[in-house]
A and B are shown apart, each in its own frame.
Chain A
Amino acid sequence: MVQAALNALGGIQRFVKSGDDVIIKPNISFTDYSFEYATFTNPEVVGALTALCVGAGAGRVRVMDLPVSQNCEEEYARSGIADAVVAAGGQMEVMSSGNFEETAIPEGWDITSWPVYRDVLDADVLIDVPIAKDHTLGRLTLGMKNLMGVIQDRGEFHFNLGQRLADLSSLVRPTLTVVDAVRILMDHGPTGGSLDDVKLANTIIASRDIVAADAYAATLFGLTGADVPAIVAGAEMGLGTMDLSSIQVEEISV
């Protein structure tokens, strides 16, 4: 499914060149349950993406996330993502707290700088791979919210969350956003815990436009981009469009 989505965009080769330093950023937080509970990115999706990047001749493919617990190794292992990545020829990286640097956000409307993981900004290719979930404050957590995995001082970040997520996206600007909507968490997110709240949507959304990807993902919840503060903020800043009628949306069945 991942391959089909990327092929529709012209194939992985359009994004990953030979020798590129690739970072894949899934959601590897809240691994208290198995992947059926839709609280973190599906390991098969991460594995498939890793394999595609390796196949395109990437110099190295690193997969990382700094979970809320700050315990990378345990969550990487428990989620099954570490196994999937290594099997696909990639490597997991433990994000060390020393590698976060206060970085200027010149286009930010609310925040002008924030501590961001250095490597993420230096990499040739950044692929943002969120899992689509319900979130009370942010309404939904999708591509833009997933970028919080590469910053510190997350408590304070919540104070004007929608605008700040847009500001962060203006800095980080992932090459590609691939939303894991194979299973989505409809309620009680982001921690989840009840299979009653999981909907099998069997969808993968891929786009260069993080705002558009998130806006499309919102429709799977019966919402639109206008319901999600981060999407509204991102559109207003011109980071992308949330008007799905104005862009080419290809829906492919696999």
Chain B
Amino acid sequence: MGAKPDEALKRPNGWRRLRQAVQILALLLFLYLLLGAHEGDTAFLPRDLFFRLDPLAGLSTMLASRRWVASMALGAITLLLALAVGRAWCGWICPLGTLVGWIPGRRPPPNSSDMPSYWRQGKYLLLFTILLAALLGSLTLLILDPITLVFQTTASVVLPGLASKIADLDQSLYDVEPLQPAVERFDAFIQDSPLTEQSFFLPSLLVALPIVVILALNAVRPHFWCRYLCPLGGFLGLVSKVAQIRYQVDEAKCTSCERCVSVCPTGAIDPDENFAANASECTTCLDCLDACPEKAIAFRGQWGLVPKVPQDPSRRRFLVSAGAAVVGAALLWAFPFVNKAEAQLVRPPGASEEELLSACIRCGECVNVCPTDAIQSSYSFAGADGLWTPMLVPRLGYCDYSCNSCGQACPTGAISKLTLEEKRRTVVGIARIDRERCIPYAEGLNCIVCEEMCPVPKKAIRVDEQEVEGPNGDTTVVFLPVVVEDQCIGCGICEYRCPVNGESAIRVFPVS
């Protein structure tokens, strides 16, 4: 018979309050770095701090690109933290862990058994599949890394979505005359913030799908993601097997009231094992410390390996996991789910296709930092191999001639750090004119905004003059734009500025 959860909460909650405060601070730091990077300034902190601290992203990148990536070495700190205090990252710092913790979960009714213990294998299975795929050169499964999930979703969906909805609302309210001064003051207020109008790339909406599903899974079990799926949780869980400071229960003081079981978010405490906790499942949240009325629980140093508890995978289960991982990675490699002929996308300057697939951790820093909204997450356009890798969408934003921010923002060097001079010479695509829709060709009227805007010093668009007879019989000279192929760098300002409705009459295509 177990105590009701709310009774446990009436107990002291000092640890829980402390942890919640730290979680909020960590989340605020995460958001500060994201929003600050958007505006170009994150004080003295590296804007990709959370990614640098992520050992899953770091190890995967080094495996896939077959080199030491110094910028991702800080992940060792997180591993050391796990060695010291178990999965404290999950319980105190991880932004996805914080969000998952805020969504109420369905606790199993008393006397029912928990999910079959082999479900816990899921996170190790995912972990091994990710690492194996990385070994084979693919980082596509990093879309399941928790830091990537939160950052990319915020940068590609939440922020642009919010900004464009605010812009729509702004427009509608501005039409109401009495509200105009208030709207103008609001505009001035948000002028320097990330909330100014951003283009929204509709396919990016689906980038939000995994996080929505993850949060909804709390309806099955609280912290479902952290318990059964999170590959970073799995990584830290493996290290936690030899954690130095861990949960201990004094069996002499324990009265089997089961309050600890009912408050544990990951179900790590097993009533059938005298309330011992599985070190790989415990996120060191310390709620049990508050909950136990007999003070039977303590977190203390214990030197040596943790004794085996039944939730540990048996050797057989471990081999099944490893085998499944191999199959998973092999499937991924064999079936990229893309038509290779259509897969070519226009990439940011300094990002070659090979580099992107093996070094891009799908973080979304480049999407976030691009000042013209040219860079968007490619969602599935690059195939299963290239999920969420960055692409240029010139109709939404051109690649600014005086900007080289994406390379500066990329944590792994998948987009190389180019100097401005190098970036101005880097060809990412080539513009082609659709003469059926281009106004001078199709209608005999003058336009050539594309030529006017082309930033290349010697102009990558030239004009041919043609005499056109008007309806009155008089002739006018019409300028017809022609792309100068060896000058075009594919920046896309022509496509962006073309005044034709709908699809632009001049478009940037990837170079073959």
Contact = CB atoms under 8 A, between A and B. Distances in A.
B453 interface: yes
Contacts of A188: 457-459
B187 A96 contact: yes
A232 to B, nearest CB: 13
Interface in A228-248: none
B456 A158 contact: no
A98 B499 contact: no
Contacts of A31: 402
Given A96-B187, A136-B479, A137-B479, A191 B452 contact: yes
Nearest to A197: B457
Contacts of A191: 452-455, 459
A190 B452 contact: yes
A192 interface: yes
A161 interface: yes
Interface residues of A, number: 24
Contacts of B454: 191
Contact of A192 (B183, B457, B479): B457
Contact of A155 (B180, B183, B449, B456): B449
Interface stretch (B158-166, B219-227, B248-256, B440-448): B440-448
Contact of A98 (B184, B456, B459, B463): B184
A137 B463 CA distance: 10
Interface string A99-139: 00000000000000000000000000000000000011100
Contacts of B145: none
B201 interface: no
Contacts of A32: 401-402, 455
B174 interface: yes
Contacts of A26: none
Interface in A178-210: 188, 190-194, 197
B497 interface: yes
A158 B449 contact: yes
B324 to A, nearest CB: 51
B373 interface: no
Contact of B458 (A78, A98, A194): A194
Interface in B3-55: none
B457 A194 contact: yes
A68 interface: yes
Interface in A68-119: 68-69, 78, 94, 96, 98
A155 B499 contact: yes
Interface residues of B, number: 28
B453 A68 contact: yes
Interface in A132-150: 135-137
Contacts of B188: 96
Nearest to A162: B446
Interface SS of chain A:
loop
A156 B479 CA distance: 16
B287 interface: no
B365 interface: no
A193 B448 CA distance: 19
B446 A159 contact: yes
Interface string A14-25: 000000000000
A136 B451 contact: yes
A98 B457 contact: no
A158 B500 CA distance: 12
Interface in B452-481: 452-459, 463, 479
Contacts of A69: 400
Contacts of A98: 174, 180, 183-184, 187
Task: Report which residue of B447, B456, B457, B463 has the largest number of chain A beta carbons within 10 angstroms of its beta carbon.
Answer: B457
B369 to A, nearest CB: 15
Nearest to A71: B371
B446 A158 contact: yes
Nearest to A68: B453
A94 B191 CA distance: 10
Nearest to A78: B402
Contacts of A159: 445-447
A32 B424 CA distance: 11
A235 to B, nearest CB: 19
Nearest to B498: A155
Contact of A136 (B174, B187, B448): B448
Contacts of B453: 68, 191
A160 B184 CA distance: 33
B452 A135 contact: yes
A60 B402 CA distance: 33
10 contacts: A78-B402, A98-B187, A136-B479, A158-B446, A158-B447, A188-B457, A190-B452, A191-B452, A193-B455, A193-B456
Ranked nearest first, the 5 interchain pairs of A and B with the lowest CB-CB distance are: A193-B457, A155-B499, A194-B457, A32-B402, A32-B401
